[in-house]
Structure 1
């Protein structure tokens, strides 16, 4: 029994020691088939960007404008599907920079606020209590 323990004990100690060591890879090691966290996040973002463009293209007013310009909406959808992730990201950035109807609403509300403020300061209306 002692002879078996002499051979088993070092093996068990080595197994526990090796099992408790952290597994580390060299920073420059390239592993095929593994996806980094950044690549997964980029893929998710590209998918979200593609969904946003598809949602925009599915709107009736966008389709009618495309048809008015002589463009087939199905062809546009095919071309958007063929875009690379970088092109989709750039297209979404441009969509964010373009003027939209929301800007007009904010501008109209701001204009109404200024008109009411000026008329309140002139004493023609009594809307804002802080003008007195």
Structure 2
């Protein structure tokens, strides 16, 4: 049995070594096609930016303003689809810098309501009759 093992072992080792050679060559090919974390995050960010612009354009008030200005919403969608990734990023930065308008007013009213409700519950004010 040992004699058979001595004869067969080098052939088995050589066949495993030769069989694994193509597997050793593939990591360099895989590395060339790999996507870095930064690229993946950038692609996700760009896709989120494009979705945000699309949601904004789908709002009724925005569509009404486009029509009032004489612009067809379909034309705007085509132009947004043609924007480069950098232009989409810049557009979203501008949207972030614009005043919030109604959202800020609603937020301020909600905060004022919460403050009055808490002071009413604490007994410091008597604004809301349902807290008594």
The question of a shared fold, defined as TM-score above 0.5 by the shorter chain, is answered with: yes
Where do 5+ consecutive residues of structure 2 fail to align? Answer: 126-132
The Cα offsets for residues 31-62 of structure 1, whole Å up to 9 and x where unpaired, read as: 3x543333233222212211121111011111
- Which range is displaced more, 42-51 or 73-82? 42-51
Q: Distance in 2 between matches of 1:18 and 1:130?
A: 80
Structure-2-length-normalised TM-score: 0.62
**Whose helix proportion is higher, 1 or 2?**
2
- Counterparts in 2 of 1:69 and 1:111: CA distance versus 1, 3 Å: farther
Report the 3-state secondary structure (helix = DSSP H, G, I; strand = E; otherwise coil) of the residue aligned with 2:83.
coil
Q: What's the secondary structure of 2:103's corresponding residue?
A: helix
Aligned-pair CA distance for 1:106: 1.4
Cα deviation digits, residues 9-31 of structure 1 (max 9, x gap): 55257459979x8x865xxxx83
* 1:82 paired to 2:82: yes
Does residue 129 in structure 1 map to residue 122 in structure 2? Answer: yes
Q: How does 1:37-56 map to 2 (within 5 A)?
A: 37-56=37-56
> TM-score, normalised on structure 1?
0.62
Unpaired stretches in structure 1, ≥5 consecutive residues: 121-126
2:72 corresponds to = 72
